[in-house]
Homo-oligomer: A and B are copies of this chain.
Amino acid sequence: MSLRERKAAKKKKEIIQSAVSIIGERGFHATTMEEIASKLLMTKGSVYYYFKDKQDLLYQSQKMLLEQSIHNIETIIEEKSELQEKLHKVLTLHVEYLLKERTGFEIGAKPEQLFSGDPLKEILSLRDQYSRYIDQLILKGIEAGVFQNVNVKIVRNLILGALNSVIEWYSFEGQKSKTEIADLISDYLLRILKKGSSQP
């Protein structure tokens, strides 16, 4: 990748971050290209040099976030550790990533509202991929007798729903650090799956 290309890639990333952050705050429709640009001391026109249109900007943001998430989960799954620990790590990292990016997943909470056609398919497919990794972990746990027998899809959705809600209620002013919160949340949610006594 040439210097030029790297510069362009960097700029794209900057724009995406600006967009993700404002859209996360105000919502997609309430966010103007003007705002996204001016936050980076750019003009609207410049943003259009890097992205075809507003949809495209949103699409690429979502794609990047989802791909990073999938990368995260894959790294953990490849590790050599117990199933429970793995799932715990996955959930923890999910929360941490969410709180670090400060937004992102929620933007696409309802991809059908924001995308259509191929981009929608792509986004849904990435989400699906992510979900399937979690399903696998749960499934293996059940087969290994570590987890209770549950409806995998429902439980996975509940867990993801709970996780993603964090961004709505986690407040920086809280006493707990992001890591602590993430750990605690993962503990709580794993109880849905764990077998046997759930006492400390």
Contact = CB atoms under 8 A, between A and B. Distances in A.
Given A110-B168, A160-B165, A198 B191 contact: yes
Secondary structure of the A contact surface, majority rule: helix
Interface of A: 25-30, 106, 109-110, 113, 148, 150-151, 154-155, 157-166, 168-169, 181, 184-185, 188-189, 191-192, 194-200
30 contacts: A27-B113, A28-B29, A29-B29, A106-B110, A148-B198, A150-B188, A154-B184, A154-B185, A154-B188, A155-B188, A157-B165, A157-B169, A158-B185, A158-B188, A158-B189, A160-B165, A161-B161, A161-B162, A161-B163, A161-B164, A161-B165, A162-B162, A165-B165, A188-B192, A191-B192, A195-B198, A196-B197, A197-B197, A197-B198, A198-B198
